[in-house]
Structure 1
Amino acid sequence: MANLSVRNLTIHPLELLTIDRFEGAKEQTGDLLTNTLGTVNSFLNATEFKTTRTVAKGEPHKQDKVNVTIDPFKTKETNERTADPKKEVIRLVFKTVGHKYEVDVPSADTKSTVMKKLDGGKLELTAVYVPTGALLAVFSSAKLDAWMKELDNDWPLQTLSIPGTHNSPTCYKALPSVRCQAVGVPEQLRNGVRFLDVRVSADPEDQNLALVHSAFPVSLTGTKWFGDMCDDIYDFLQKHPSETVIMSVKREGTGKGTDQQMGNHLKKNYVDKKRDFWWTEPKVPRLGEARGRIIIMRRFGLSEELKKCWDGRGFGVDAAAWPDNCEDGHIGGGHIRVQDFYEISETQNVQKKIDFARGQLERAAEQNFSLGHKDKTPPFFVNFLSASNFFSASCWPERIAAKVNPSVVEYLCIRHGEDGKGPRKLKVGTAGTGIVVTDWVGANGDWDLIRCVVGMNARLQMKR
């Protein structure tokens, strides 16, 4: 068995005090009906569902005093072996900022775990265990509903590590090649997602925009509307005024409306009715300016009317010239850089997708920016983890996510933000991730990927 390593991705030193070893015992995750349905859905859809979990049994059969200190954003290998899979659970006690926190490895449900406070500590810590690396990553990303609250107003949004979803509102009953998300936009927002990828169909004579995925409606049970989704976002921002939402808007579907007509509908029927909730200036704001607002990243051309907005500067952050199926495409003068390789023709191409995603993470981490200095603001790095092939069931969104998402979690926990550990061995600057756009997060309560991305913002609390 490999020795356990701990990576501290918080701003405070962590001291590992003790490791207790328990015999592992299997425990049912639900009743017979729940487990049967979960197993069937897992088989059909590829999202992992476990009918049993391993928990610590009885009293520890061994306790080791360790006293290993892990500095912020450092990794240290202990002299203690990790848990024997399915046979053993180890319980770790850490001390930081004068208080103790506890976590089991592996956790009972094998997902990210909020660490237990043993003596009233105020920090909210989460842990993700990566068995393949025998590594426990510790993050300060427990409060996902308001994670932006901890960050300085002066940070440009481009420097933040921002979780996003691809075809965000496609959580309804639909064709498996169309559905991209396990949960709806409100639940995504409550669990840390701050970038929404939205596709709408436009009618020249109707200002109401319908939600679509390519040529298909997002639901088989009736049209879902852009306005209803916006109401959900307004409600979230009213309750969480520290947060902002970046919304990429693109025209798709079978509607006869043009980009220009769709843009006019967007402004007149939605933005103008709730002006305080929208940021439409054609520049990227800093976090303080963006709080409580929806930032439009437009993937559509402008009408003559919208070109006149903002003293003739236009409307929204311009992403109209979106590069297609690219590893690192540049928009305009490079103010947005995109990894959006999505044409997966065979399952072997999934590894290529994973490599491209890791490469874009590394390029984002290389960028540097400091508050109070005259550093050039880096571009937005937008990194789509999504891919699909309509004609191949093995390459539908959920099945691709079941392979790509865990690989990216592993990369973030073990290698992201470490000099020379990325695929191109680049140096590390601010060590952000950029905007990481995912499919099927939140399935069966699994928010590991979101916690890992949000956790990378801790460095901004130290860097000035």
Structure 2
Amino acid sequence: MPGTHNSLSFYGGDIVQTQSMSLTNQLLSGIRVLDIRVRHFYDKFAIHHGFVFQNAYFGPDVMAPITAFLAANPTETVVMRLREEYNAQGNTRSFNQTFQDYKNRYGAFIWRPYSNNPTLDEIRGKIVILQNFSGSRHGINYGYLDRQDSYSVSTNWDLYSKWQKVKAHVEKAEHGRRDIIYANFLNASGGSFPYFVASGKSSPQTSAPRLLTGLTTPGWKNSYPDFPRVGCFIGICSIAFEGINNLLSNYIANGHTDFTGIVMADFPGAGLINNVISLNNNDR
């Protein structure tokens, strides 16, 4: 299942922004797993990425578009990781109680949990909560998932190490038990911008060139074997960075795996989304 990391993080500049498609467009593009971070603020859930308010609230900007999508597409399902973000302020009740208030309003669309591994038929037309907060049970405990979520990179040159962790988790999911939910986060930040980790490019623009690692072949032919070789002249090629989204999309397209579990990405494009979805056509 393709998903988005920090699904509504649009504001705050290159260091904070992780998505460019609206929530509705994400769903229409095939995204089925969302990562929703909320600040408990005056008995409401405000959407945040860290301290940065994303000009959105849980009711009108998350639940309303999701339930509208499910009403129009009752055979689909949406999985939502929900977690508390930043400092609570001005509340007269607990986080769990505020969620229950939203649940009372949108309960017809929220799956009632009785299993940690429901079938698709059991959750069609519903929102499945991956519960990343304490309180009464509202969904699947987020801690139940087998996750790869190594999100810190110190420099651009840590990108390949991140890719190795992503690839290792794909291999783990492919050969693992089917009564476990696997979630593989492609994102990272810190010493690099989220757009660079996703694309390997010099700026967020789709047409931007890839950055170069500074290494060339044949001298460093064994370095970063999955990164592209570009600008070749008289047998010498530059080794360019490649984004995690493209690396995984190509990995799937080239037949290296037939199972990924949940894939959570910043700025996912059609290639990655469609390649993940295509794996559902394989016989397992």
Instruction: Provide closer, same or farther for how the CA distance between residues 413 and 440 of structure 1 changes in structure 2, counting only shifts above 3 A.
Output: same
1:192 equivalenced with 2:1 (yes/no): no
- 2:195 maps to what in 1? 398
Instruction: Provide closer, same or farther for how the CA distance between residues 262 and 450 of structure 1 changes in structure 2, counting only shifts above 3 A.
Output: same
- Post-superposition Cα deviations, 1:281-328, rounded to whole Å, max 9, x if no partner, equal 2523211110011001011111xxx2xxxxxxx332112xxxxxxxxx
1:215 to 51, 58, 64: 51
Q: CA RMSD in A?
A: 1.8
CA distance in 2, matches of 1:257, 1:361: 42
CA contact (8 A) 2:132 2:141 kept: yes
Q: How does 1:307-326 map to 2 (within 5 A)?
A: 314-319=137-142
Q: Larger strand proportion, structure 1 or 2? A: 1
1:207 Cα deviation from its structure 2 partner: 2.7
| Alignment gaps of 5+ in structure 2 | 200-242
SS state of the match for residue 38, structure 2? strand
CA contact (8 A) 2:12 2:52 kept: no
- Post-superposition Cα deviations, 1:164-199, rounded to whole Å, max 9, x if no partner, equal 00000113x432211100111100100110100000
| Alignment gaps of 5+ in structure 1 | 1-161, 307-313, 320-330, 369-376, 418-430
- 1:408 maps to what in 2? 248
CA distance in 1, matches of 2:249, 2:90: 40
CA contact (8 A) 1:280 1:317 kept: no
1:217 Cα deviation from its structure 2 partner: 1.2
1:385 to 169, 176, 186: 186
Runs of 4+ in 1 over 3 A off after TM superposition: none
SS state of the match for residue 224, structure 1? strand
1:384 Cα deviation from its structure 2 partner: 0.2
- Post-superposition Cα deviations, 1:57-113, rounded to whole Å, max 9, x if no partner, equal xxxxxxxxxxxxxxxxxxxxxxxxxxxxxxxxxxxxxxxxxxxxxxxxxxxxxxxxx
CA distance in 1, matches of 2:79, 2:114: 13
Q: How does 1:265-344 map to 2 (within 5 A)?
A: 265-268=98-101, 270-281=102-113, 283-284=115-116, 285-302=118-135, 306=136, 314-319=137-142, 331=143, 335-344=144-153
CA distance in 1, matches of 2:112, 2:154: 38
- 2:217 maps to what in 1? none
- 1:180 maps to what in 2? 18
1:256 Cα deviation from its structure 2 partner: 3.1
CA contact (8 A) 2:198 2:244 kept: yes
SS state of the match for residue 278, structure 2? helix
1:257 Cα deviation from its structure 2 partner: 7.2
CA contact (8 A) 1:217 1:253 kept: no
CA contact (8 A) 1:282 1:318 kept: no
Letter in 2 for 1:438: A
1:416 Cα deviation from its structure 2 partner: 2.7
- 1:225 maps to what in 2? 57
Letter in 2 for 1:317: I
Equivalences, count: 238
- Post-superposition Cα deviations, 1:123-178, rounded to whole Å, max 9, x if no partner, equal xxxxxxxxxxxxxxxxxxxxxxxxxxxxxxxxxxxxxxx0000000113x432211
The structure that has the greater radius of gyration is: 1
1:363 Cα deviation from its structure 2 partner: 1.1
1:449 to 269, 272, 276: 272
SS state of the match for residue 171, structure 2? helix
CA contact (8 A) 2:188 2:194 kept: yes
SS state of the match for residue 30, structure 2? coil
Letter in 1 for 2:164: D
SS state of the match for residue 266, structure 1? helix
SS state of the match for residue 279, structure 1? coil
SS state of the match for residue 348, structure 1? helix
1:250 Cα deviation from its structure 2 partner: 0.6
Of structures 1 and 2, the one scoring higher in RCO (CA 8 A, sep 6+) is 2
Taking structure 2 as the reference length, the TM-score comes to 0.79
Q: How does 1:52-451 map to 2 (within 5 A)?
A: 162-171=1-10, 173-203=11-41, 206-218=42-54, 223-228=55-60, 229-256=62-89, 261-268=94-101, 270-281=102-113, 283-284=115-116, 285-302=118-135, 306=136, 314-319=137-142, 331=143, 335-367=144-176, 377-389=178-190, 392=191, 395-402=192-199, 403-417=243-257, 431-441=258-268, 446-451=269-274
Instruction: Provide closer, same or farther for how the CA distance between residues 409 and 257 of structure 1 changes in structure 2, counting only shifts above 3 A.
Output: farther
Letter in 1 for 2:23: V
